Structure 1
Amino acid sequence: MVQISGRYQHVENVNFFELLKKTGATDEQASAGDKTRAIMTVALDGDRVRIKLEGFGEDIENHFVLGQESDEKLQKGIVSKTTVTKEGDTLKFVAKENGSETYSRLYKFTDSGLEVIMNLEGFEAKRIYKRL
């Protein structure tokens, strides 16, 4: 089993600019987000998950209990209702709005890093991180 807890440095995007545009970001905002090389800290302790993201203009830290819906702080003061589940070397985050799924992220961990696969209304993007 791969070590999930650790620090990760963002190195590459696939379709992330386009995903940001689908969320309503302007070209300028999407371009800035696409160029951001954030550092993510992931801590898994039993059924508790902590995710800290540094480098998007503001550090954001969220705490989850596996299988339980939690408030997830996002950029610009946005809060979503998010449930995290774990299966093997992956963590799945499902955000809901008005009771239905609106956005999901699948965190796939490897010995060398982390791939975050995001899905918004059927559109997929990826952010790729290396393990520090």
Structure 2
Amino acid sequence: MTDLAIPGLAYAEANWGRWIARCPAGLCTSAVQIRRWQQRFECAGPGSCGWTTQIVWPADPEGIEVLLAMRPDVHTRSWRPGETLQDLLHENAVHDVLPPGWLTESGCILETRGERVTAGQVLTALPEYRRREIGA
């Protein structure tokens, strides 16, 4: 994902352990819960403006979910566009919520390419289909 937001598009973000998208129209302050990889956003519900647009997803939502799931308090399981996987890993380390041994074992914890997990201990925590996709 680039650091530049494209006006009129909705961006997926993790909010308290669920995926949401906020209305990009600027006509209301609505946000809706979305399913992973959902492609279309429709601003619906009380006070919504009815805007419909495409949803832009981060490069590695599974990697984001793995790092956020380590946090015991669901209210801290949030990610916004522009944050990197390294940012999330750093926050987890600062708040001492990494799995036991991750900081003391030899080897890398996280390696990425194009904001997708490619190696390290985070890779082993990804769903099996993702590990096969990467060739691990």
Provide the TM-score with structure 2 as the length reference. 0.31
The structure where strand makes up a greater share of residues is: 1
Provide the TM-score with structure 1 as the length reference. 0.32
Pair member with larger Rg:
2
The structure where helix makes up a greater share of residues is: 2
Work out which structure has the larger RCO, using CA pairs closer than 8 Å and 6 or more positions apart in sequence.
1
